[in-house]
Amino acid sequence: MRTTLNCPCGTTILGADEDELVERAQAHLREAHPDREYSREEILMIAW
């Protein structure tokens, strides 16, 4: 299960499970990078 993602901007995003990680990553994208959009699959591909 992948629950950690390091955004290139330096932010580390953590989730209790993959669903929470995806939700938090998408929230971070909306707030910090509104010009970028990634699918669940893309987020989990770069998570660890």
Cβ–Cβ < 8 Å for 36, 29: yes
Separation of CA 31 from chain center: 12
Q: For the chain, what is the domain count? A: 1
For residue 30, what pLDDT is reported? 97
For residue 6, what pLDDT is reported? 97
Q: pLDDT, tens digit, for every residue of 1-48?
A: 999 999 999 999 999 999 999 999 999 999 999 999 999 999 999 999
Global pTM value: 0.92
For residue 3, what pLDDT is reported? 97
Name the residue range of residue 38's domain: 4-46
Separation of CA 4 from chain center: 8
The pair phi, psi for residue 30, each rounded to 5°, is -60, -40
